């Protein structure tokens, strides 16, 4: 194939993946899920085309490892702006901007504590679990609005010192959250109080994003505070995707400064694989002069594995941007 045409192969795959998926939603789901359809009958099909073109364009931009971090940050920021903008409009009383017509707290904690408190699983946990199966930890690198804020705040020179005892803290925190949620359910604590507790948890998270992540140059909220991030750290192992470091690595540790997830410390590099908090975002690839950091997917080559990851993750991002409302 002509090299000039070859670079458009992945964008075309992303275009059709996004278009077909959103067409099925537009065609089969009874409630208008696409925003344009809620205002003008038939306009959802136009939104499908726009989002498919967007997915193809972003895939084209992210093929270059040297540019992928930049475009991931841009598109993730766009996602957060759109999501929070719709949340603000929902608060203002414009119910068409809400997924179910009812306002829900946009705090990642609720994906875990909500089903535990209610004793039933809802739409968001199912959506979350499906992303794990499709593209591993992409939720924590492209699909979470809190993560987008954390990424922006940590946009400075990364502190080379590892976060100490992070897994001890993460495990204690998630067990505490589950225990408290079960107790709130058993004692039938009023919804107003449970909502206030969730809001307080979210506010503390925003404080961590604003001050701690900024000072460390690492996404401390996502690494330590977010219980969904902890779930992703382990649940991503059901996905066939992996990132590894091959033996051409010179242990220069240049990649450490590009990892906002505290997953490329000295011990990780010596073990030849990123730490458990790695989200496969790929920001580190451009820093590796020996191209030792590679994607792995089944029997694909490392380039084919990365290409597949980009197409699936960008397509998910575009679909979430079209559908992801409160």
> Which residue, among 278, 136, 271, 112, has the nearest Cα to 202 in the 3D structure?
112
Across the range 214-225, mean pLDDT stands at 96
Q: How high is the pLDDT of residue 3?
A: 52
**102, 115 Cβ separation under 8 angstroms:** no
> Which residue, among 269, 138, 109, has the nearest Cα to 205 in the 3D structure?
109
Q: How high is the pLDDT of residue 266?
A: 94
Q: In the structure, what pLDDT confidence band is assigned to residue 98 with cuts at 50, 70 and 90?
A: confident
Q: Where are the domains of the chain?
A: 1-78+301-326
Q: In the structure, what pLDDT confidence band is assigned to residue 325 with cuts at 50, 70 and 90?
A: low
Question: pLDDT tens digits, residue range 27-45?
Answer: 988 778 888 888 899 999 9
**109, 229 Cβ separation under 8 angstroms:** no
| Cβ-Cβ contacts under 8 Å for 3 (sequence gap 6 or more) | none
Q: How high is the pLDDT of residue 58?
A: 97
Q: How high is the pLDDT of residue 182?
A: 96
| Cβ-Cβ contacts under 8 Å for 222 (sequence gap 6 or more) | 140, 144, 146, 147, 150, 229, 261
Q: Mutual orientation of helices 302-323 and 9-28 as an angle, nearest 10°?
A: 30
Q: How high is the pLDDT of residue 198?
A: 93
Q: Which spans in 92-165 are helix H?
A: 109-118, 123-135, 145-153
Q: How high is the pLDDT of residue 5?
A: 58
Q: How high is the pLDDT of residue 189?
A: 94
Question: pLDDT tens digits, residue range 182-214?
Answer: 999 999 999 899 999 999 999 999 999 999 999
**258, 284 Cβ separation under 8 angstroms:** yes
> Which residue, among 317, 313, 321, has the nearest Cα to 86 in the 3D structure?
321
Return the H-helix or E-strand segment holding 294: strand 293-297
Q: For residues 73 and 91, what is the distance between their CA atoms, to the nearest angstrom?
A: 27
């Amino acid at each position: 194939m002509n090299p000039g045409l070859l670079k458009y192969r992945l964008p075309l795959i992303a275009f059709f993946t996004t278009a077909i998926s959103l067409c099925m939603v537009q065609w089969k789901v009874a409630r208008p899920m696409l925003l344009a359809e809620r205002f003008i009958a038939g306009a959802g099909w136009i939104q499908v085309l726009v989002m498919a073109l967007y997915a193809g364009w972003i895939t084209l931009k992210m093929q270059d490892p040297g540019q992928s971090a930049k475009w991931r940050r841009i598109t993730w920021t766009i996602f957060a702006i759109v999501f929070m903008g719709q949340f603000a409009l929902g608060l203002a009383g414009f119910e068409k901007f809400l997924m179910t017509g009812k306002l829900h707290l946009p705090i990642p904690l609720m994906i875990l504590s909500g089903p535990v408190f209610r004793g039933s699983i809802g739409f968001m946990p199912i959506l979350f679990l499906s992303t794990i199966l499709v593209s591993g930890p992409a939720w924590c690198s492209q699909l979470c609005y809190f993560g987008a804020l954390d990424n922006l705040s940590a946009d400075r020179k990364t502190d080379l010192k590892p976060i100490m005892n992070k897994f001890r803290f993460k495990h204690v925190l998630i067990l505490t959250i589950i225990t408290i949620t079960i107790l709130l359910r058993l004692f039938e604590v009023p919804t107003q109080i449970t909502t206030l507790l969730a809001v307080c948890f979210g506010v503390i998270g925003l404080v961590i994003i604003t001050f701690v992540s900024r000072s460390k140059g690492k996404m401390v909220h996502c690494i330590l505070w977010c219980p969904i991030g902890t779930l992703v750290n382990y649940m991503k192992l059901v996905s066939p995707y992996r990132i590894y470091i091959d033996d051409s690595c010179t242990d220069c540790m240049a990649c450490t400064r590009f990892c906002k997830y505290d997953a490329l410390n000295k011990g990780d590099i010596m073990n030849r694989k990123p730490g458990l908090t790695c989200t496969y975002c790929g920001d580190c690839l451009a820093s590796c002069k020996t191209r030792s950091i590679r994607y792995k997917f089944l029997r694909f080559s490392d380039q084919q594995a990365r290409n597949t990851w980009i197409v699936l993750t960008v397509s998910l991002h575009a679909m979430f941007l079209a559908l992801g409302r409160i």
